[in-house]
Structure 1
Amino acid sequence: MRRRDLLKAAITLPLLPWLTTPAFASGGKPQALAGLRARVRPGQPGWPSDAQWAQLNQSVHGRLQRLRSPFEGCAGNDDACREALAQIKNPFFLGDEPALTQTSGWVDAWTSRPSVYAVAAQDASDVAAAVNFARTHHLRLVVKGGGHSYQGTSDAPDSLLIWTRHMNAVTPHDAFVPQGCEGRQAPLPAVSVQSGAMWIDAYDAVTTHAGRYVQGGGCTTVGVAGLVQSGGFGSFSKNFGTASSNLLEAEVVTADGRVRVVNACQDPELFWAIKGGGGGSLGVVTRLTLRTHDLPDTFGAVFGAIQAESDDAYRALIARAIGFYREALFNPHWGEQLVFRGDNVLRLSMVFQGLDQATAEKIWAPFLAWVRARKDCHFKEEPRVITLPARHFWDAEFFRQHAPQLVVSDSRPGAPRNHILWAGDQGQVGQFLHGYRSAWLPQSLLGETRQAALADALFNATRHWGVSLHFNKGLAGAPDEALSRSRDTATNPGVLDAFALAIIASEGDPAFPGMPGPGPDLANARAEAARIDQSMDALLKAAPSAGSYVSESNFFERDWQTAFWGSNYPRLAAAKHRYDPEGLFFVRHGVGSEGWSEDGFTRTS
């Protein structure tokens, strides 16, 4: 039996008691699904009439919108097109456009195309109305908050969009107890965040103004709800655990239109499932409450780049960098990246928490001295160690005053002053992906007997494409408390034993349909995608069973259930069947999507 067949068998066996229940008495398929064989598209019988759309609009207080991409008017050079082209690298603008997404597409995979209608929800009742309407009329339903899905899951043509952008309130709590848990859980400092908020909104309220820490994402414009539902990593996850592990409670609209408050005491299986089970598959999250933590005194960063003069020198540099990480950085203080490039350059892009400048410099001194002592390596960019008071890490005014080159502001008139993006993230805005692969690397590779194999695999991988090791996206080395909380989530358990997430990817300029110009160079994009696959294949020789992070993964992943969720998938599938037995919520390569066509419109089994 092939490995793929073994994995499918391993997933299926724990579900046998569920699969043999009376609901599956008809031909091995759920009876509840028998009436829904396909979803309807515009122009087909069953598509809602204008009067029915008007009734939905009335029930959501006039918040139904007919969507049109601003690039549709580019041929006529209209105002919407000019504005969109002027703001094409502004992620806040893209997020404010319900017809657009933060990624414009992926070669031979998907292209950003808007839904037909969107409900610009302002509360859970708006969401429930949209869910009920989609269920009644057999519509393809899509949910979008931040719109940062690399996989294209936050838009779909011929669908109804639930757009939560305007649900963005952030409310800190000094002492929060989840509903129904009174007397069973101690009060904790926390923050409640509506699902349309971005992480910059949460950081501004929690850290800049309240002096505490909430575990969120590294990119400031990522949506809070999408990140938490996918697991969620930020620069300091090695200390505080995943974002989903910090979830205390959520408000969720399920497929039956009910607004549920879920936590460890109420609907605990749904609560567990949304902690890493992926957005858009199990319900519409409308509010999340996350624990907050004491803020460290300092955050800091280490930047620089090292050029090796030969392949042999680069092999030695890679080996020394891996050894140095194991000796000095494999602990809760350190996160972010070492980037191993194909031109024999090692780029340092690390962050740290809870250390002062002198301590950080002392930690790095032996490695930097090793580089300086070699004649076959030199600093392409001199290393810099910087620290700042942690309270200012997401403080827009602080950066405008002290380091304006590190941030980019929303340039539109009247934009909130706190809305900034790290300058290094601007290349992702509107990106057209050529390829994207990720793999969790087990901590056993850091052992003395395995480091050489890891270094060889990294070098061989860079002969095809560059590799980034994101140390904050692997939890090995985290404190026991953070590991315990992260273990109680639906995220692939492999993350607990991983010291890093390896990412190999590339992208091109924005390529939304209708934009003027020649469009993406598809031949080049496909060539780069092939090299990315070759690079990951070389790296995986050191970790052949590595899982992948669902939010940063291969669109074409074949064994996606195992890669994204590992041994947690059967439990997730059971939660999906319990709370969405008819499959109203569809996300390609999401929980329960096996029985649907790639576009989610036709049942295939």
Structure 2
Amino acid sequence: MSAALLHGAMPTAALARGVTKADVPGRTRARPGTAQWPGAREWQALRTQTEGRLLTLTSPFAHGQSEAVRLEAVAGIKNPYYIGDNPALTQTSGWQDAWSSRVSAHAVAAVHAADVAAAVKFARRHNLRLVVKGGGHSYFGASNAPDSLLVWTRAMKEVTMVDAFVAQGCPQASSQPAVHVGAGAMWADAYAEVTTRGGRYVQGGGCTTVGVAGLVQGGGFGNFSKGFGTAAGNLIEAEVVTADGEVRIANACTNPDLFWALKGGGGGSFGVVTRMTLRTHALPAFFGAVFGEVSASSNEAWRALVARFVDFYGASLFNEHWGETVTLKDGKTLKLSMVFQGLDDAQARAAWAPFFAWVKERKEYSFPEPTIMAIPARHFWDSKFFQKHAPGFITVDDRAGASPDHHYWTGDGEQAGWFIHGYQSAWLPARLLAPERQALLVDALCAAAAQWDVALHFNKALAGAPKWALDATRNTAMNPAVLDAFALVIIAGGGGPAFPGMPGKAVDEARARQAATRIRSAMDAVLTAAPNAGAYVSESDYFQARWQDAYWGSNYARLARVKGAVDPDGLFVVHHGVGSELWSADGFTRVKRASA
């Protein structure tokens, strides 16, 4: 057990003292074949120290693999749980002209914090590129790198509820209901334990296969963030292995600067989180959803429809009850995929009645009967309930021995192993909902939708949330722009899995680049209504030019100071992560020193 755990709070500056000048790595990290690369005896020592949990990795699509292995993987990658269970794979297979999924040389399949600490110390000692994979959903490829050592936390998936948790070093009066979640747990694991079996709610992600730790470190939105805030705002405590290889506790009372940075400062930049403790909430009586599509017969009718919806949203849905997505699709269709909490079926129908009545009164719109349903909240992530009452909504992990809790929303299956062509996001400020500004917003949205589908994610922005949720998120490292935004607009596109060596899956690069150009043009149209808008670090453009400001705004300077204290030599480097401007794009070569 580390001194930090034994003695409580340690000033952030002291975290750097374990790194001496003798430990400072050279300007270029070790690669196989170089003198610095560990020899067989050294790798064996790490294997022994981790009780055999050091793995040598090979892609199932690598040259020399048997046809049976390759075909099994082609079938398996349709299932995101299969991808997550293979340390050689990632949930995104690459991004055109940005990165491609490449296998680490070795991985430590950690089962407890001591394994992680051993891997971190080994990487520092031998000047290795270190990457971390929990859920493996990073769009920027942060959970993989060739010639690297991977810390793989998938097995650390314990989820335990606590009735009265007090963070280390904090007063007893701060006791509150909470849940401990291991670094390898996915939101399917957390929701099953907390909601289905425990009858409470934990603010997490909408995609059940996303890793808990990674989502929280990015900030973290879920279906009901308008009601319960960000996942980062609900973090009470984290156990984390820092760059000196020590296991530390971080919370509001112990190592508070590190704690703040972990709440939205981006995964993979400040250490390896091994466990998180999150606040739980009383469960509403009902969760529910609204699905439907409205199509317009002309450009004039289309603009009128978008204008009517924007006005309707601002008047009736801009509150803590409503979240998820409305998509401007094919330049003529409004696709509704909304969720709600704290309302029953009748209340949800009443909320939408004015908009639906307006549409039905006009012959220029095609409008099949929408679906509106409320279910007992305890069953919202209950796979058995959905298999019985609404089997099409979910897909279960049907592999032998799979957890019965493991399912995913069927629509999310399209992202299993996907290859990104282009991806843009921007927060839309709530002032655009003011009557005198709505025309500007509508014009921008319609211009964008003429080029690419535009999705408005109302749950991924916090304007309209209750005060306590806003205050909690204000005390995180996220860009403060999230507090004043009513929606995150996402414009994105991609193709099917394209892992290197995958049989019959070559990327049409010209088509991918054309898509990326149209996606950028569509976002440019949106930004005429919201110039210099912030973006969500976990879902944004790999090529974001002003990423420090877009992701963290005024918080970046403080994040950089914390980074300099806890990881002065840049052991943890991810693309467009805090401090990454000091390193080459692949994280192997230091290009400049941090200023004193």
Q: TM-score range by the shorter chain?
A: over 0.9
Aligned residue among 284, 288, 292 for 1:300:
288
Equivalent position of 2:179 in the other structure:
191
Supply the distance in 2 between the matched residues of 1:454 and 1:235 (Cα, whole angstroms).
Answer: 24
Q: Is the 8 A contact 2:25 2:127 kept in 1?
A: no
Is the counterpart of residue 267 in structure 1 residue 252 in structure 2? no
Shift of 1:31: 7.5
- Say whether 1:72 aligns with 2:59: no
CA distances 1:512-545 after superposition (whole Å, capped 9, x unpaired): 0111114111111110000000000000000002
Residues 502, 31 of structure 1: alpha-carbon distance in 2 compared, 3 angstrom cutoff: farther
Distance, in Å, in 2 between the alignment partners of 1:149 and 1:382 is 37
2:150 to 149, 161, 164: 161
Do the aligned partners of 1:36 and 1:582 also contact (CA within 8 Å) in 2? no
Correspondence for 2:75: 86
Q: Tell me the secondary structure at the aligned position of residue 151 of structure 1.
A: coil
Structure 2: distance between partners of 1:515 and 1:262: 42
**Secondary structure of the residue that 1:306 maps to in structure 2?**
strand
Distance in 1 (alpha carbons) for counterparts of 2:350 and 2:280: 30
Superposition pairs for residues 547-566 of structure 1, below 5 Å? 547-566=534-553
Measured in 1, the distance between the counterparts of 2:211 and 2:24 equals: 35
| Residue identity in the other structure for 2:442 | A
User: Which residue pairs with 1:137 in the alignment?
Assistant: 126
**Deviation at residue 85 of structure 1 after TM alignment:** 1.2
- Structure 1 partner of 2:522: 535
Q: Of residues 205, 216, 230 in structure 2, which corresponds to 1:242?
A: 230
Matches within 5 A, 1:101-140: 101-140=90-129
SS where residue 92 of structure 2 aligns?
A: coil
The equivalent of 1:430 in structure 2 is: 417
Tell me the distance in 2 between the aligned counterparts of 1:33 and 1:196.
Answer: 29
The C-alpha deviation readout for 1:225-247, integer Å capped at 9, x for no partner, is: 00000000000000100000000
Deviations 1:357-407 (A, max 9, x none): 11111111110011111121111x421111100000000000010011100
Indicate the RMSD between aligned Cα atoms, in angstroms: 1.5
CA contact (8 A) 1:32 1:582 kept: no
TM-superposed CA distance for 1:80, in Å, is: 2.1
Instruction: Letter of the 1:307 partner, please give it.
Output: S
Structure 1 position 552, deviation (Å): 0.2
Q: 1:43 aligns with which of 33, 37, 61?
A: 33
Give the match for residue 6 of structure 1: none
Match 2:577 to one of 583, 590, 595: 590
Task: Find out whether 1:464 has 2:451 as its counterpart.
Answer: yes
Where 1:148 maps in the other structure, the secondary structure is coil
Cα 1:499–1:529 change in 2 (3 A) is: same
Corresponding position: 1:487 with 2:466: no
The aligned counterpart of 2:161 is: 172
Q: Secondary structure at the match of 1:232?
A: coil
Q: Structure 1 length normalisation: TM-score?
A: 0.94
Q: CA–CA distance in 1 between the matches of 2:463 and 2:26?
A: 44
What's the CA shift string for 1:412-447, capped at 9, x where partnerless?
111111100000111111100000000000000000
Question: 1:83: how far off?
Answer: 1.5
Work out which of the residue numbers 400, 404, 415 in structure 2 matches 1:417: 404
Cα distance in 2 between the residues matched to 1:373 and 1:330: 24
Helix, strand or coil for the counterpart of 1:519?
A: coil
Q: Give the whole-Å Cα distance in 2 for the aligned partners of 1:157 and 1:318.
A: 46
Q: Does 1:215 align with 2:203?
A: yes
Out of 344, 351, 368, the residue aligned to residue 339 of structure 2 is 351
* 2:414 maps to amino acid: G
CA 298–533 in structure 1, closer or farther in 2 if over 3 Å, else same: same
Shift of 1:77: 4.1
- Residue type at the aligned position of 1:470: H
What's the CA shift string for 1:225-284, capped at 9, x where partnerless? 000000000000001000000000000000001100110000000000000000000000
| Paired AA for residue 156 in structure 1 | A
Judged with a 3 Å threshold, the aligned counterparts in structure 2 of structure 1 residues 406 and 259 are, in CA distance, closer, same or farther, namely same
Question: How much has 1:33 moved relative to structure 2?
Answer: 9.0
1:369 paired with 2:357, answer yes
SS in 2 for 1:70: coil
Report SS of the residue matched to 1:222: coil
Residue ranges of structure 2 left out of the alignment (5+ in a row): 1-11
Determine the structure 2 residue equivalent to 1:522: 509
Equivalent-residue separation in structure 2 for 1:36 and 1:205 (angstroms)? 46
Corresponding pairs, count: 576
What is the aligned partner in structure 2 of residue 61 from structure 1?
Answer: 51
Q: Which residue of 1 aligns with 2:491?
A: 504
Task: Look up the SS of the partner of 2:174 in the other structure.
Answer: coil
Secondary structure of the 2:560 match is helix
- For 1:47 and 1:142, the matched residues in 2 are separated by 16
**SS of structure 1 residue aligned to 2:388:** helix
Instruction: Identify which range, 30-39 or 136-145, moves more after superposition.
Output: 30-39
Residue 284 of structure 1 corresponds to 272
- In the alignment, is residue 96 of structure 1 matched against residue 85 of structure 2? yes
Q: Is the 8 A contact 1:299 1:387 kept in 2?
A: yes
What is the rounded CA distance, in whole Å, between the counterparts of 2:275 and 2:255 in structure 1? 15
The alignment partner of 1:72 has SS state of coil
Equivalent-residue separation in structure 2 for 1:576 and 1:425 (angstroms): 34
Establish whether residue 340 from structure 1 lines up as the match of residue 322 from structure 2.
no
The CA distance in 1 between the partners of 2:399 and 2:474, in whole Å, is 42
Equivalent position amino acid for 2:293 in 1: A
Partner of 2:218: 230
Q: C-alpha separation between the residues in 2 aligned to 1:602 and 1:197?
A: 32
SS of residue paired to 2:257: helix
Identity of counterpart residues, as a percentage? 61
Q: Give the counterpart of 1:317 among 301, 305, 320.
A: 305
Partner of 1:406: 393
1:103 shift after superposition: 0.4
Give the corresponding residue for 2:7: none
**In 1, distance between residues paired with 2:70 and 2:181?**
33
Write the letter of the residue equivalent to 1:48.
Answer: P
The answer to whether the 8 A contact 1:105-1:111 is kept is: yes
Instruction: Please say which of residues 217-226 and 337-346 is displaced more in the overlay.
Output: 337-346
Q: Which moved more, 1:336-345 or 1:484-493?
A: 336-345
Tell me how far apart the structure 1 counterparts of residues 374 and 26 of structure 2 sit (CA, whole Å): 57
CA contact (8 A) 1:309 1:376 kept: yes
Structure-1 separation of matches of 2:68 and 2:175: 52
* Structure 1 contact 33–581 (Cα < 8 Å) conserved: no
1:450-506 deviation digits (Å, cap 9, x = unpaired) = 011000000000111111000000100000000000100001110000000000000
Query: Cα offset for 1:175?
Result: 0.4
Output the CA distance in 2 between the equivalents of 1:49 and 1:297.
Answer: 59
1:152 equivalent among 124, 135, 141? 141
SS in 2 for 1:104: strand
Normalization by structure 2: what TM-score? 0.95
